Structure 1
Amino acid sequence: MGTTAADYLAALTPGRRPDLPEATAGTLRLDAREDGRTDHWYLTVADQQVEVSRSSEDADLVVRAPRAVFDRLANGGVHVSEALLRNDLTVQGNIRLLMLLRRIFPGPADARHPRALGRAATTGRAGAGEGRP
C-alpha cells in the first residue's frame, strides 16, 4: 500500500515550503480513527513552514476520517476535496485551511499541474498551425 499517513507526517522535514501560501497561517488537527481508537496529529502552518506534533489540542480546523483515508491522502490515492465531497472525511472550523492539506500531502501520481496542461495545449495549437498556407 505504501506509506502510511503516520509515517508520512513523522517524516515531514522542517523548513520552508514554497508551495504553501505566504499569507496563510493556522493550526490543523487530524483525527485518524481505527478500531475505536483515535490518533491525533497537530499541524501548525506559518511562514510557509509546517510543524508537526502529536496533540489533541483545539485547532483552527479539525479533520476527522478513518485512518485508511489519511493513508490514501499520504499516498496520493485521493485528493482532499474528493474525500470531502464523498464524505470520507469531515471538517470542523476554518475550512479555508483544508486546502493546505492538498499541498502538504502529495497529489495523485498521474496528476498534472493545470498550468502545465495549459502550456502544453497552447504549444500544441501553435505547432499545429505552422506549415499551413
Structure 2
Amino acid sequence: MTKATEQFFASLPARAPEVLRTPVAGTLRIDLSEGHCTEHWLVRMRPGVAEVDQGAESSDATWYCGVDLFDRLVTGRAHAIAAVFRNESTFRGNVVLFLAFRRFLPSAPATRDPREVAREHARWTR
C-alpha cells in the first residue's frame, strides 16, 4: 500500500463531519489488490462519522480496486465512478455507500468548483 493511501484512510475520521452530511449509514469494505495479495479496509459511515479499520468482515457494500488505481484516486488523478464504468474496478452492494465515500476522494489537481467560477464571472460582469 502506498503512503498516499495510508494517509487518506487516516484522514477520514477527521474529515467525516464535513463530508458525511447526508443520512447515510453502513459499512463499505474496500478490497485493494496487488498481484495475489488483497488488503481489506472497512469504512463504517453514518452522518458526520467515519470509522476506519482493516479486516475482511462482512459489509453492506464492497468495492474491489487495484492498489495503483486507488493511489490515483486518492491523489485526484482518477475518478471513482469513471473507473467503475470502465471496469477498472467493481462494486457490489448498497450503491449509496459508494456514492457517499467518493466524496472523500479529492478532485483533480487544478480543478475549480463551478460555483466559485460563476461567482467570479458575476463579479467581472458588474
TM-score strictly above 0.5: yes
Per the alignment, do residues 14 and 7 of structure 1 end up closer, same or farther by CA in structure 2, a change over 3 Å counting? closer
| Equivalence for 2:114 | 114
TM-score w.r.t. the length of structure 1 is: 0.81
Structure 1 gap segments, 5+ residues each: 128-133
C-alpha distance after superposition, 1:45-94 (max 9, x if no partner): 11211110001112111000111111111111111112112211100001
C-alpha distance after superposition, 1:93-123 (max 9, x if no partner): 0112212222212221222223223323333
| Equivalence for 1:14 | 13
| Equivalence for 1:35 | 35
Q: Post-superposition, which runs of at least 4 consecutive aligned residues in structure 1 deviate over 4 A?
A: none
Letter in 1 for 2:43: L
Query: Matched residues in 2 for 1:73 and 1:92: separation?
Result: 19
* SS of residue matched to 1:63: strand
* SS of residue matched to 1:121: helix
- Does residue 1:45 correspond to 2:45, yes or no? yes
1:13 positional shift: 5.5
Q: What's the C-alpha RMSD, in Å, of the aligned pairs?
A: 1.9
1:3 positional shift: 4.0
* SS of residue matched to 2:17: coil
User: 2:24·2:96 contact (CA, 8 Å) conserved in 1?
Assistant: no
Matched positions, count? 124
Structure 2 gap segments, 5+ residues each: none
Per the alignment, do residues 81 and 121 of structure 1 end up closer, same or farther by CA in structure 2, a change over 3 Å counting? farther
Per the alignment, do residues 23 and 13 of structure 1 end up closer, same or farther by CA in structure 2, a change over 3 Å counting? closer
Query: Matched residues in 1 for 2:39 and 2:71: separation?
Result: 13
* SS of residue matched to 2:99: helix
Q: Percent identity?
A: 30
Letter in 1 for 2:24: T
TM-score w.r.t. the length of structure 2 is: 0.85
Query: Matched residues in 2 for 1:114 and 1:39: separation?
Result: 36
